[in-house]
Structure formats: C-alpha cells, structure tokens
Amino acid sequence: VDGDGKRSRPTAAVVARTAQVSRVAVSRAFNPDASIRPEKRAHILRVAQQLNYTPDMAARSMATGRSHLVALIVPDLSSPWEAQEVDAMTAALQDAGFATLVFRTRDDFSFDEKLLTYMKGFNPDSVISYAENVRPGHLARGVTRAVPVYVCYPEADPGTTADGGYLFDRLDVRMRAAFEAAIARMQAAGARRFALLSGKAASLATAARAQLVRSLLAARGLPPPDEIAGDYSYDTAARAVLAYVRAGGRADAIVSANDVGACGAVDALRHGLGLRVPQDVQVLGFDDIRMAHWQSYDLTTLQIDVAERTAALMRLVRRRLDEPAAGPLTETIAARLVVRGTA
C-alpha cells in the first residue's frame, strides 16, 4: 500500500538520472523521429518502464503545439446512432494516437459560448461536430487552433457551404440516390400517400432530409407528404403517429428522420392501431442502428457505413494536421438503402 499522499509521477529528469543519460536523450527516446543511438534508446525505454514513466502530455502539448486530443461534439450521446459513431471514432482515434474528448450539447442542441470557450482551452488538435445546429462558423470563430470538421447534408442544406467565410472541413453525406431508390421501391409496393416523421424541429439534418424527400416525391408525381412532428425519440414518434392516424391521417408510407422514430412508428401502427407493417403502412428508417435488424422491427432503412464514415473523418483529421494552412477539405460519402421487412 502506498499510503503517502505523494503519488507524483516520475519526470524525464528522474529517468535521465537513473539511466545515466541527459534529459534530452530521454525526450529523444520517446520521439520516434529523433536521432538517437538505438541501444541508448532501448536502455532508456527499459529504465522508463521500470520507473513507470510516461511523458506528460500537457507539457508535450505546450512544447509542440499538439495536444493529441480530438474533440467530439454530439447532441445526445445516449442515442444509438451517436453512440455507435463515438464508439467507432474513439477506436479509430485511439489507434492513431489520439485521445477522445467528448462534449455534449444541451437538450435544445445549444452549444453555448461558455462551453465553446471551455473546450477551446484544451487545445484539441481537431474538433468534429455532429451537432446539427452548431454552425461551423460559430465553431471556426471559437476554435482558433484546430480546424473544425463538420458533418453535413449538402443536398438540401446550402447554408453550411459558406458560413461566415470561416475555415472548416466538411464531410458531405449524399442521400439522394438512396432516398430515390427507397421511394421507388415503396411506390412500386403500392405506396401512394407519404408522411414525413420529422426529427427535432431545430435540426438541420431533419430539414435537409425532409426537403429532399419532398422534391423526390414531387418528381414522381406523388402528392406532397403529410407532416408528422417527431423529435428523434421513440415515445414522441409513437404518440405522434397514433395521433396522426386517429385524426384521420391516411398515409400508407411513413418516412422517418431516424431509426429510433421509425421503431416508435412501427410499434404505434402494430400495437396501438392494429395495422400491419408493411401491408397497410410501410415504414422507412434512417441510420441503420443495431436495433434496426432486431426481429421485432426488421426495419428497412438508409445506411451510412460506419467504417467508411470514420475512415473519411480520419483522413480529414490527418490531412489537416499535416497541412494546417490548406484550404477547406472535403470528403464525400453516400447513403445506401438497406432493404428489410418494413418497406
């Protein structure tokens, strides 16, 4: 038992003294690119391990200007999609030598000045924002060292392309082809009246998807969709769909802003209203969260491959770090239709 309250970590100086070398040598031993005699490095590393020494990242950050920290800003970490995303990114970042710093926006999606200021203090090497209404300009203005990476849906969200002229990198997610395929399939299966189950009202992503679907429906000569107001949650979706049908809504196809809402819709239709899915009403989700393939739902949905997405984001992070002064970087990935049992 180490009962003393000391608990201080050994410094490079201690390692140097123990290994009978200079302080700089220790530093070099831990920097792969530094030139040092291999045997000497090995010796130092051995001593360091014995002493349980680790370079202090804070000190290293001050000296090099790199924190090895990447900040992730998410609206609700507990929702399946965000969870999956943070999980994948954390794994990828860990492999690349970065630690993940997680920040949550408030329930209203706001990421206020205070939080931004606070985050900035940690000097993240990169900031990745999934929070759909944390505008890149807001971020770019605040984060002076790192260049923010912004995940967006440009097909119906032109505002994000030029946001105050601030520099930020982008991951563009194309959804048109996948939505087109999904709607064609639903129409072929007999769908005539569509309804749009939205996410949170403030959400840019939900607006982008809604606008895209509306234009696709119009292009096919289908009537404009009914609007069902959701908020990405299961409960609200279930209640809203129940209310919609009871109020006389007659849609035979529901396009949900996310999978969780789609699950709520399916349950409301089946258990609350005694309707059959997909025979009476088809349901389309978005995200392809893990529960989408659970047998009780077996959700037809749109997927953006996690591996593909994290790889693209990591490319953005790395490229920006290699060339800090580069112009805006962009990666593009596309959603895919995953056909299962609800549409």
Partner DNA sequence: TTGTATGCGTTATCAC
Partner DNA sequence: GTGATAACGCATACAA
Residues composing the chain = 343
Phi-psi category of residue 284: left, alpha or beta, with phi > 0 → left and psi -120 to 50 → alpha: beta
177 binds its own copies (CB under 8 A): no
Q: Is 117 in the site for its own copies (CB under 8 A)?
A: yes
Q: Is 263 in the site for DNA (CB under 7 A)?
A: no
Q: Which of 18, 51, 55, 227 binds DNA (CB under 7 A)?
A: 55
Own/partner long-range contacts of 324-327 (Cβ < 8 Å, ≥24 apart): 324/147, 327/167
Among residues 31, 61, 133, 215, which is the contact residue for its own copies, using CB under 8 A?
A: 61
**If we measure between CA atoms, which residue out of 179, 177, 176 comes closest to residue 187?**
179
69 binds DNA (CB under 7 A): no
Q: 223 to each of 150, 213, 219, 220, 227, how far by Cα in Å?
A: 34, 12, 10, 9, 12
Q: Which does 267 bind (CB under 5 to 8 A by kind): DNA, its own copies, none?
A: its own copies
**By CB under 8 A, is residue 17 in contact with its own copies?**
no
Distance CA 96, CA 27 (A): 21
Nearer CB in complex with DNA: 2/107: 2
Based on CB atoms, which residue is closest to DNA, 72 or 146? Answer: 146
Place of tokens 């609206």: 75
What is the C-alpha to C-alpha distance for residues 302 and 153, in angstroms, rounded to an integer? 14
Out of its own copies, DNA, none, what residue 108 binds, judged by CB under 5 to 8 A for its kind, is none
Contacts of DNA in 221-250 (CB under 7 A):
none
Smallest separation (angstroms) from its own copies to the CB of 215: 32
Which stretches of the chain bind DNA, using CB under 7 A? 8-9, 11-13, 21-28, 30-31, 34-37, 40, 53-56, 59-60, 62-64
